[in-house]
Amino acid sequence: MIVYNITIKIDLSVHDIWLRWMKEEHVPRIMETGCFTDNKVYRILAEDETEGITYAFQYFANSMTDYFNYKENFAAHLQKEGLDLFPGKYTAFKTILKEV
């Protein structure tokens, strides 16, 4: 099992509309690619959220081949949507995890 983890800190000024967009539009579009079998969303608990709220979005793939298919054929377009809708309002970093 491969986990594509995206950690995102979103600015408080757009948090509510961004979270709704993520859950109702963006995550479903990623799942529609067929590259992932499941996903989960976690809010990262922090004492100080004055600069934003942080989430971990996890997408589960059966293989690295499925992940690379996503990266090569879908990722750029889907990531651009977020950049266009919420420019400068979030920071993100990505990690790939393998179940052991």
Question: Which of helix, strand or coil describes residue 92?
Answer: strand
Please tell me the predicted confidence (pLDDT) of residue 99.
87
Average pLDDT, the chain: 96
Q: How many domains, the chain? A: 1
Give the closest residue to 26 by CA, choosing from 100, 90, 81, 93: 81
Quick: pLDDT tens for 78-87: 999 999 999 9
The CATH number that applies at residue 47 is: 3.30.70.100
Quick: pLDDT tens for 22-61: 999 999 999 999 999 999 999 999 888 998 999 999 999 9
Helix and strand totals (H; E) in the chain: 4, 4
Q: Residue 38 CA to chain centroid, in angstroms?
A: 13
Find the domain containing 19 and state its range: 2-98
Give the pTM.
0.93
How far apart CA 48 and CA 45 sit, in angstroms, is 9
